[in-house]
Amino acid sequence: MIGLLASTAASTAARADQQATLIAGSAAAPAGALTAGSAAAPAGGLTAGFAAAPGRSVMPGTAGIIAVRPDGKVFATASTGKVKQWNTATGRPAGTSFSAHAGPLHSVVFSPDGKRLAVAGDRGASIWDAASGERSGPALTGHGAPVRSVAFSPSGRLLATAGDDGTVRLWEAASGDPVRTLTGHTGGVRSVVFSPDGKLLVTAGATGSDKTTDTDDDNTVRLWHTRTGRPVGKALSISPGPVFAVSFTPGGELLATSGGGRAIRLWDTATATPDGDPLVSSSAPVFALTFSAGGKLLATSSGGDNTVQLWDTASRRPATAPLTGHTGPVRAMRFSPGGNLLATGSDDGTVRLWNAATGKLEGKPLTGHDGPVWALRFTPDGKRLITAGADEQVRLWTLDEPDPA
């Protein structure tokens, strides 16, 4: 069964906080948008037919951010300068709200223990105590330009920031002390994500309209050793650019990338070299991709024909027929934690839930957004789905995930 939980809508256009997948420089999505794609795939059924009632606005604002606390009980939203926390079960305010920075915010993420929030915006980055709303340590200065993305390492010891100055910076999360600066991108860096084991860092460069510096298009993804700050091999060239999406497998041994062409490339993260032939989507560009929790499936979206394809990662062949029904490009995707559902969000304003084993639609499309859907997040228990988009609304849905086959 699926339904809109108290018909809750939190006002803000959003970017999901990240763990394993990123979107960098999508033409329609907000610059530096992040999606996390570390959950999973197969079977069961949802009852069709429910009416999505008008949502209740709980946070007015312009383009903003969404992050889910690791225990799933609280999620955070942000608009211009302000961060608020909400109860995931009720959609009502929870915890302390605080003013982080003056001006636009671009990224927010909870620490792995859920006790801190890292925030990035036009005025830099900072770490905050989630319970008190007080800043934890000094402001993280050094970029000298807007900071577009922020990520905690899986252990919570390090924080990574990526900025328009073309650098990536590592910090001690507890003290805010700088650890090292990573250089190599030829333009602004829109996204940064740690590998699941925290040993590697992946960064994606800004291209085209995303750039804020007078340099050539970067069109690259770069892998770095977290401990030393040294690059892993050469930059991964995404041709044709720009870079749209990157996702680690759950074990971190492979990295998938997509860009302006039809090719989805898999890379060996130990050597930063291609792992086999690329997968070829039905049309270009490939806006989003995400692995299932077990890494057996990879979902990719094709912007030209508005379809989604599920791939068997062992055989490198399609696992099901293409998922059809969206009437606009799919820019956000997420497997449910239990692995049975794939959620997709599209420019057509709908969210759809698919059976990951069969590729069949589960129930009716979720409607209510008045514009493109840019971000999706399941809560860790799989009982709720949070969606956000261009209508500056974050919607909270409740659902019963089908049992595994």
Lowest mean pLDDT among 139-148, 234-243, 267-276, 311-320: 234-243
Q: Please, what sign has the CA dihedral across residues 136, 141, 147, 149?
A: negative
pLDDT at position 375 is 87
Distance in angstroms (rounded) separating the CA atoms of residues 235 and 59: 40
The answer to whether residue 63 scores a pLDDT higher than 50 is: no
Half-sphere exposure of 269 (CA within 13 A, CB side): 26
The answer to whether residue 35 scores a pLDDT higher than 70 is: no
The answer to whether residue 403 scores a pLDDT higher than 60 is: no
Position 401 confidence tier, pLDDT thresholds 50, 70, 90: low
The answer to whether residue 219 scores a pLDDT higher than 60 is: yes
**Cis amide linkage into residue 285, ω under 30° from 0:** yes
pLDDT at position 27 is 32
Position 42 confidence tier, pLDDT thresholds 50, 70, 90: very low
In this prediction, residues 94-116 reach a mean pLDDT of 91
Position 381 confidence tier, pLDDT thresholds 50, 70, 90: very high
> For a pLDDT cut of 90, what percent of the chain falls above it?
61
pLDDT at position 207 is 59
Whether residue 283 contacts residue 303, with contact meaning beta carbons closer than 8 Å, is answered with yes
The answer to whether residue 38 scores a pLDDT higher than 50 is: no
pLDDT in tens, 338-349: 889 999 999 999
Whether residue 171 contacts residue 182, with contact meaning beta carbons closer than 8 Å, is answered with no
Domain 2-399 class, CATH top level: mainly beta
Query: Which residues, 6+ apart, have CB-to-CB distance to 257 below 8 Å?
Result: 221, 236, 238, 243, 245, 246, 264, 265, 267
In this prediction, residues 84-104 reach a mean pLDDT of 89
Whether residue 404 contacts residue 42, with contact meaning beta carbons closer than 8 Å, is answered with yes
pLDDT at position 169 is 98
pLDDT in tens, 302-347: 988 999 999 999 999 999 999 999 999 999 999 999 889 999 999 9
Q: Please, what sign has the CA dihedral across residues 39, 42, 45, 50?
A: positive
pLDDT at position 14 is 34
Position 358 confidence tier, pLDDT thresholds 50, 70, 90: very high
Distance in angstroms (rounded) separating the CA atoms of residues 179 and 199: 15
- 3-state SS of the chain is CEEEEEEEEEECECCECCCCEEECCCCCCCCCCCCCCCCCCCCCCCCCCCCCCCCEECCCCCECEEEECCCCCEEEEECCCEEEEEECCCCCECCCCEECCCCCEEEEEECCCCCEEEEEECCEEEEEECCCCCECCCCECCCCCCEEEEEECCCCCEEEEEECCCCEEEEECCCCCEEEEECCCCCCEEEEEECCCCCEEEEEECCHHHCCCCCCCCCEEEEEECCCCCECCCCEECCCCCCCEEEECCCCCEEEEECCCCEEEEEECCCCEECCCCEECCCCCEEEEEECCCCCEEEEEECCCCEEEEEECCCCEECCCCECCCCCCEEEEEECCCCCEEEEEECCCCEEEEECCCCCECCCCECCCCCCEEEEEECCCCCEEEEEECCCEEEEEEECCCCCC
Distance in angstroms (rounded) separating the CA atoms of residues 216 and 186: 7
In this prediction, residues 269-276 reach a mean pLDDT of 95
pLDDT at position 181 is 97
Q: Is 55 left (phi over 0), alpha (psi -120 to 50) or beta?
A: beta
The answer to whether residue 26 scores a pLDDT higher than 80 is: no
The answer to whether residue 98 scores a pLDDT higher than 60 is: yes
The answer to whether residue 66 scores a pLDDT higher than 80 is: yes
pLDDT in tens, 136-189: 999 999 998 999 999 999 999 999 999 999 999 999 999 999 999 999 998 899
Distance in angstroms (rounded) separating the CA atoms of residues 251 and 395: 31
Distance in angstroms (rounded) separating the CA atoms of residues 252 and 19: 12
Please name every residue paired with 387 in a beta bridge, in sequence order, or none if there are none: 376, 395
Distance in angstroms (rounded) separating the CA atoms of residues 150 and 83: 15
Considering the entire predicted model, what is its pTM?
0.84
Distance in angstroms (rounded) separating the CA atoms of residues 322 and 300: 10
The amino acid sitting at 247 is S
pLDDT at position 176 is 95
Whether residue 300 contacts residue 258, with contact meaning beta carbons closer than 8 Å, is answered with yes
Position 393 confidence tier, pLDDT thresholds 50, 70, 90: confident
In the chain, the largest separation of any two C-alpha atoms, in whole Å, equals: 54
Position 103 confidence tier, pLDDT thresholds 50, 70, 90: confident
- Return the top range by mean pLDDT from 15-19, 45-49, 201-205: 201-205
Position 405 confidence tier, pLDDT thresholds 50, 70, 90: very low
